[in-house]
Chain A
Amino acid sequence: MTTLLEVKGLTKTFGAVQAVGGIDFSIHVGRCVALLGPNGAGKTTTIRMIAGLLSQTAGTMRFHGFVKGDYGKGKVHIGYLPQSPSFYNWMSGLEYAVYAGRLCGLPAGTALKRAKELLERVGLSGAAKRRIGSYSGGMKQRLGLAQALVHSPKLLIMDEPVSALDPIGRREVLGLLQELKEETTVLFSTHALHDAEELCDDVIIIRKGQIALQGNIAAIRNEHRKPIIELQLEQDEVSIKWFTDYKDRLSRWSDEAQEASFIQNIEQQGAAVRFTVREVDSARQHLLEVLTREKVKVSRLEIGHTSLEDLFMKVVAP
């Protein structure tokens, strides 16, 4: 697998604020990569440095063989869609897409042809001749995609491409991206794990400007997958007391061992109690015995697995 983009120790500080604090990752040709993180994690800052709109405080980037002073030459192979794109409102969608193509070095005829193709593809051909000023947010996002793709870039970079859209617009754009990722390498940022899971091969989770976790999504899911047992208790005195006592013993588990060999962690979410377990069978056996003995009123008992969502929440939790 060839590396398209390699980022090493990328850092950006704004005055006293460190927005991005030394991150390393690489993107291979043909992959779809999500840059995932909560608000303020440094996604936009990272993406703008990669797009060449912001110069880094420290660190190096190598894109398609271009480094340092040459990095700007790589721009021909990058398509960029910002978080909330703004265009020239007095132009029509078609004029803008043609203009973008021409700025990327396409001859007039080719630019027009490509612009029409792409507007058709993103579903804007009906509105191609209308002023951009009259477009809705979703239409602008789709025009943003069209203008980013007009020169067939090797890397498509998008900053939160679906965050500002309604559910229908989101579906449409996600569908488009599903097709596009077959044709080019894609890097996009998002704060929703769901989008990353749906589209991407790889994920880079960042938090406070640092990489918290990165790798292949499927691999991460398998690696961090842990069995869980979820209990729903009725809110009567006996049950509540049992749970409080049981949880109190948590601190002593490490010495006493027995339960500690199969129960790893215990969490309460409202009326539900969640046990992360090492071994399902003995934990289930143990819990059922205890619950019967103590006459705890259980309304539901469920065996499952931790989701990627749980991992994400754990990783990015403040």
Chain B
Amino acid sequence: MTSSFTRLLVMVQKELLELVRSLKLLWVPLVFVLLGVMQPASMYYMPLILEKAGNITEGAVIEIPQPLGSEVLAQTLQQFGTLGLLVLVLVGMSSVSGERNSGAASLILVKPIAVFSFTASKWTALLLLAWGSLSAGYLASWYYTGLLFGDVQASKVLGSLLVFGLWLSFAMTLTLFFSTLLRSSAAAAFSTLGTAAALSLLAGLLPKKLGWLPGSLSSFAYQTAVSDIANVSLFGWALACTFTLMAAALTGASWLLRRSSAID
């Protein structure tokens, strides 16, 4: 094992310890589990709730067709893509800028470490948090969907989990990038959410022309959950584009950090 890799591991350990000590490793997955359970539960009890709420003329029969399990899972992913994403971005928004503003970063960057290791350790921790929370929440959702609506194939669950996880990873990489670029964590969160929304919107409006943008990953995930990905080559392009952008954002963040004359 090379010494720079050992140092990277030590730094990742520190990031994880921080996630544990700040209880983020507990409550973020809990939020995802809650979202994952709420979705099937609320869809199952919706007719009942509507009935209890009154306001419905006597004798009217509520006819809401029961959705398929896979559709429920796709809707869960939608929840993860809005509320879940918001939580993750808020957690990650000050990961670099916080340490730079407090001055803790300069005491670390003065050590014989590569700036890239610093960025990469934070990235690894954020990704672990995102994947852990997503998996916990999605598995919970899968379990309740199975109970209430009927089984969904494991392969579909796994496939959509992987694709959606990639979308969250992309969003986390953006968060890290903006957290390095901008001193204010609110601005970083705002920029990340704005960029993610713009990418989704563009890919949603022009799926044929712009379907290769990372923004289309979430809809590819829904497709994987419900049936199959229709346009495989476009999906391939989206994957390639996402990985390239993630690598570029990571490199860019390290470059910014190295170049910035005010690491204090």
Which A residues fall within an 8 A CB radius of B? Answer: 14, 48, 51-55, 72-73, 75-76, 78, 80, 82, 84-88, 90, 99-100, 102-105, 144, 147
Contact = CB atoms under 8 A, between A and B. Distances in A.
A304 B21 CA distance: 62
B148 interface: no
A75 B110 contact: yes
A72 B110 CA distance: 9
A94 B117 CA distance: 23
Interface string B1-41: 00100110011001000100110000000000000000000
Residue from A14, A54, A100, A144 having most chain B Cβ neighbours under 10 A: A54
A233 B104 CA distance: 56
B112 A104 contact: yes
Given A99-B10, A99-B14, A103-B7, A88 B112 contact: no
Contact of A78 (B7, B110, B113): B110
B109 interface: yes
Interface in B59-117: 102-104, 106-113
A173 to B, nearest CB: 18
B110 A53 contact: yes
Nearest to B261: A54
A104 B103 CA distance: 19
Contacts of B106: 53, 82
A55 B111 contact: no
A189 to B, nearest CB: 15
Contacts of B21: 90
Contact of B104 (A53, A76, A88, A103): A88
A86 B111 contact: no
Closest 8 CB pairs of A and B: A75-B112, A86-B103, A103-B111, A76-B112, A102-B10, A80-B110, A90-B21, A86-B102
B229 interface: no
B263 interface: yes
27 contacts: A14-B261, A48-B264, A52-B110, A72-B112, A73-B112, A75-B110, A75-B111, A76-B112, A78-B110, A80-B110, A82-B106, A82-B107, A85-B103, A85-B107, A86-B102, A86-B107, A87-B104, A90-B21, A90-B22, A99-B10, A100-B107, A100-B111, A102-B6, A103-B7, A103-B111, A104-B111, A144-B107
A269 B155 CA distance: 90
B155 to A, nearest CB: 41
A185 to B, nearest CB: 17
A87 B10 CA distance: 16
Contacts of B10: 99, 102-103
Interface of B: 3, 6-7, 10-11, 14, 18, 21-22, 102-104, 106-113, 261, 263-264
Nearest to B103: A86
Given A54-B261, A99-B10, A105-B3, A86 B104 contact: yes
Nearest to B263: A53
B119 to A, nearest CB: 15
B112 A105 contact: yes
A87 B110 CA distance: 13
A90 B103 contact: no
Nearest to B107: A85
A78 B110 CA distance: 9
Contacts of A84: 103
A52 B110 CA distance: 7
B22 A53 contact: no
Contact of A87 (B11, B18, B107): B107
A217 B104 CA distance: 35
A259 to B, nearest CB: 54
A207 to B, nearest CB: 23
Contacts of A48: 264
B105 to A, nearest CB: 9
B263 A103 contact: no
A255 to B, nearest CB: 55
Contacts of A76: 112
Contacts of A53: 106, 109-110, 263-264
B118 to A, nearest CB: 10
Contacts of A99: 10, 14
Nearest to A84: B103
B110 A51 contact: yes
Q: Which of B21, B22, B104 has the most CB of A within 10 A?
A: B104
A55 B259 CA distance: 8
Contacts of A105: 3, 6-7, 112
